[in-house]
Amino acid sequence: MNTMIDPAPAPTQGADVTLRRRQSLEASVVRACTNPECGAGGVFHDVPGVNVAHYDPERKDQPVGPICLCCGAERPADEPQGEIWSREYR
């Protein structure tokens, strides 16, 4: 079965064209390790000597995953909050 799709008509001279730019911000809650003896943050960082297993300047601010790299305990799941802000410019 062949389906033909008509191309969109080309804008005619003098047609109004509106360009828009949209920005948005999405958030997630990243929880720290639940082991009371550890408490390491749930993201990689760039501070030498602090929670050394989470030290990785190239992955700074990225979640470490479901297992704490410092003590091996399970971390709570990240909680995506979705879009918390948006703006459209004309």
Dump pLDDT digits (tens) for 57-90: 999 999 999 999 999 999 999 999 999 999 998 8
Query: Mean of the pLDDT values across residues 4-33?
Result: 80
Domain count, the chain: 1
43 located within any domain: yes
Q: What is the pTM of this model?
A: 0.64
Among 27, 32, 28, 25, smallest CA distance to 78 is for 28
- pLDDT tens, position by position, 50-65: 999 999 999 999 999 9
83 located within any domain: yes
Kind of pairing, strands 79-89 and 21-29?
antiparallel
Poorest-pLDDT segment among 11-15, 43-47, 52-56: 11-15
Query: Mean of the pLDDT values across residues 17-38?
Result: 91
68 located within any domain: yes
CB-based burial of residue 54 (10 Å sphere; 0-12 exposed, 13-18 middle, 19+ buried)?
buried
49 located within any domain: yes
| Enclosing domain of residue 67 | 38-89
